[in-house]
Amino acid sequence: GLPVEGLRPTAGNVEVQVEVETPHAADQDEALAETAPDAVFGTKADPRWLNASQGAIQSFATSGYDAPPQPSGGYQYMATTTQYGTNPLTSCGVDSKALVAGTDYLPVASAQAMNSGCCTCNSAGGGGQTAGMGCGSCGRGRWVRQLPRGFQIWTPESAEIFQEEVKFVVMDICPHDENQNAMWCPAQQGQTNTFGVYNHLDFALVPKKFDNYYFEFSPEACDDVITQRMAQSKCRTGWVQMEAMNETSVVGLPVEELRPTAGNVEVQVEVETPHAADQDEALAETAPDAVFGTKADPRWVNASQGAIQSFATSGYDAPPQPSGGYQYMATTTQYGTNPLTSCGVDSKALVAGTDYLPVASAQAMNSGCCTCNSAGGGGQTAGMGCGSCGRGRWVRQLPRGFQIWTPESAEIFQEEVKFVVMDICPHDENQNAMWCPAQQGQTNTFGVYNHLDFALVPKKFDNYYFEFSPEACDDVITQRMAQSKCRTGWVQMEAMNETSVVGLPVEELRPTAGN
């Protein structure tokens, strides 16, 4: 009952030699087009890496694992690799999928150390064994058939991924922060990541058979098509105009980076923040590094309970109270759709053709964590588990009093929306802990009992407060939730209500600490 990747040697696991291939995307154009933080295979959130430590890396000699390989075949540098997904507006001011459309380039985010700084519109940094690769830098290289920490590789050496050279272009940054990025992406030139490597490339699109293989590469000039497309970056045309650092990248800050945060001076520029064109496209390709409005948005990473408690003296307003007949107040973030959520459904397919928005509800709002939960909650914590529905509206107020550029008359503040819970936001030690309370009666960092993480969002979305009330789902949503893998494809258990059951998918039953 265990997929092959669950049988790679980790603490408490016994390796089983089964000749079954690991899952991979069908082709490059589709690879990760809808990847979200919960689609973890090969990403920085892949559970194989979460317990890695520098000590573990240093013990390779005695553990029998191989140290990181050295570049060969004329390549200059070695990198670790992860995958995330395409993004309609990256930190380099481009649409990563459109940038490479019709070319043979793969779009990547380069580690902060490889850039001139953090975190927007950077030119090349690096030095020594750290490659200098900022916005618009290009290179070519190939994957090396070796994984960090010596995990079993099921893909043969003859596979295309190890035989063909690929070209890539930097269109985003992997900042060194305190979530999974810190493990992979060094902060400064000359520093290594947890795996002893100076460079990291986070691929927005990947070839077939991708895994977190090492990657040897050399920088090179971009072709004319990529150079021309990078010249249209919002770093040059749509944000703050500054002198070009080279032919393909400039230094500048988008308006949303100029909202008041520590060390920033607010600039009153009447430019709208970027938003998806319509609901169906909103965040269909969002990935962990697409930070605007997500839990990784840099406006929130330094928030603390102390900062919230000082609202009265700082001049910021406290969280609003629900009004207009709504029962509850929530904070909100956005992530992206996912073909298989913790509620056992495809979040985009679940709401297709309806007027519902799919959401992940905070762990406290569920009966437990982390799969196929029914409604929990109590008191000011709403009970909303898999298949729970509600309706509400966004309130024109952001946590910590940040400037709002969208007027009160905007549709997002005028129209009521319906939503359905199809995933969970677990309380863990990355950004989730700031937003998603663990237990009924607890509040998040912003003093709010509830949190909803929207997989699709309307135009002009930002992290606005959201007032809402639970209600019954319509017949279409009810029927679709009844086909959840919680009921049909994982572990069959007694239904808790008409739309949700308790059960655990096989992958949740892998032996890990505490399971």
Q: What is the pLDDT along the chain (515 residues), one digit of tens a residue?
A: 233 333 333 223 223 232 223 333 233 333 333 333 334 567 766 666 655 444 444 443 334 456 899 999 999 999 999 998 888 889 999 999 999 999 999 999 999 999 998 888 888 988 899 999 999 999 999 999 999 877 788 899 999 999 999 999 999 999 987 666 888 999 999 999 988 999 999 999 999 999 999 999 999 999 999 999 999 998 876 543 322 222 222 222 222 222 222 222 222 222 222 222 232 233 333 333 345 677 666 666 544 444 334 433 344 568 999 999 999 999 999 988 889 999 999 999 999 999 999 999 999 999 998 899 999 989 999 999 999 999 999 999 998 777 788 899 999 999 999 999 999 999 886 668 889 999 999 998 888 999 999 999 999 999 999 999 999 999 999 999 999 998 776 533 333 333 333 333 333 322 333 32
- Helix, strand and coil content of the chain, in percent to the nearest 5, comes to 15, 20, 65
pLDDT digits (tens, 9 = 90+) for 357-401: 999 999 999 999 889 999 998 999 999 999 999 999 999 999 877
pLDDT the model gives residue 248: 27
**3 state DSSP class of 101:** coil
Tell me the pLDDT tens digit for each residue of 215-242.
999 999 999 999 999 999 988 765 433 2
* Other Cβ atoms closer than 10 A to 511: 13
Residue ranges and CATH numbers for the domains of the chain are 23-229 (2.40.40), 305-509 (2.40.40.10)
How much is the pLDDT for 415? 94
pLDDT of residue 114: 96
The whole model's pTM is what? 0.44
| Amino acid identity at 22 | T
- In DSSP terms, 378 is beta-bridged to 381
Element (H, E) at 474: none
Separation CA 137–CA 139 (nearest Å): 7
> Coil, strand or helix: which one is 411?
helix
Both tokens of residue 124?
Answer: 């090349």
Residue 258 confidence (pLDDT): 23
Instruction: Name the helix (H) or strand (E) containing 172.
Output: strand 166-174
Structure tokens at 176: 């060194």
Q: Following CA atoms 393, 257, 235, 407 in sequence, which dihedral angle do they give, to the nearest 10 degrees?
A: 40
State both tokens at 131. 């490659």
Distance CA 104, CA 100 (A): 7
Three-state DSSP class for 510? Answer: coil
Handedness of CA 238, 239, 241, 245 (dihedral sign): negative
The pair of three-digit structure tokens given for residue 27, joined into one six-digit string: 């082709």
SS3 80: strand
Cα dihedral across residues 179, 184, 190, 191: positive or negative: positive
Q: How many CB atoms within 10 Å of residue 261?
A: 17
> Strands 77-83, 199-203: parallel, antiparallel or unpaired by DSSP?
parallel
Alpha helix (H) ranges present in 241-395? Answer: 305-309, 311-314, 347-351
Residue 288 pLDDT: 33
H or E element: which one contains 244?
Answer: none
Contact 78, 69 (CB under 8 A): yes
Tokens of 414: 């005028």
> Where are the extended beta strands (E) located within 209-280?
214-220
Strands of 250-355, DSSP E: 328-334
Please give the pLDDT value at position 307. Answer: 39
